Chain A
Amino acid sequence: GQQLNQSPQSMFIQEGEDVSMNCTSSSIFNTWLWYKQDPGEGPVLLIALYKAGELTSNGRLTAQFGITRKDSFLNISASIPSDVGIYFCAGQLYSGAGSYQLTFGKGTKLSVIP
């Protein structure tokens, strides 16, 4: 099946700094999604990207769907302490019979130093 390579695995940054993380795949996807997971909670969707080349923002978050459909990046500007958590990329692929399969990366653990 598809595998996603997400990097970096972890990041320690100062409050106010910008953050960038990315995902690459050997296979193409129809949709790229970025989730955030807080400790003891399930993942929460941050941004969804539906077209190759699409650049989408959600507040301080910006994400792009790569032209090749095999990669995506997420940027967080002016980080704040509540940005702490694990960020997952996920690729969604049409798997036939009207269904879609979601494959997750291994996550980027973000720590923000006040």
Chain B
Amino acid sequence: EAGVVQSPRYKIIEKKQPVAFWCNPISGHNTLYWYLQNLGQGPELLIRYENEEAVDDSQLPKDRFSAERLKGVDSTLKIQPAELGDSAVYLCASSPLAGEPNEQFFGPGTRLTVL
């Protein structure tokens, strides 16, 4: 079974440019998460989807960040415009059941560098 797929793996952009990250969760997983991981820190939740509904986006900086999961499967996270402080690893994770204290499966992440 394929794991969580993310692309691109690396992205280097100049500040003020837009950038988008893509995630394809494990087949059949209804819950999808986007996390931000700064260097030397643990992942921090940005947004959580149950199917196509964003049920927790309280930590998403909505002035420049947006996300969508239109068909309840794959998801896109966008930053526009990017700032220097956005340099980090963006992790996507999925889990099979909403509300279950079960495992979140993480993708390899997209490492963003903003110059």
Contact = CB atoms under 8 A, between A and B. Distances in A.
* Majority SS at the chain A contact face: strand
Interface residues of A, number: 27
A94 to B, nearest CB: 8
Interface of A: 4, 30-31, 33, 40-45, 48, 50, 88, 90, 92, 94-95, 97-102, 104-107
Given A102-B45, A107-B40, A107-B41, A42 B93 contact: yes
A44 B108 CA distance: 10
A99 B101 contact: no
B34 interface: no
Which 10 pairs between the two chains have the least Cβ-Cβ distance? Answer: A104-B42, A42-B106, A98-B99, A31-B101, A45-B103, A43-B106, A88-B42, A42-B107, A41-B108, A104-B43
Contact of A44 (B45, B99, B102, B106): B106
B55 interface: yes
A65 to B, nearest CB: 12
B8 to A, nearest CB: 13
Contacts of A31: 101
Given A41-B108, A95-B56, A98-B99, 4 more contacts: A40-B108, A42-B107, A104-B42, A106-B42
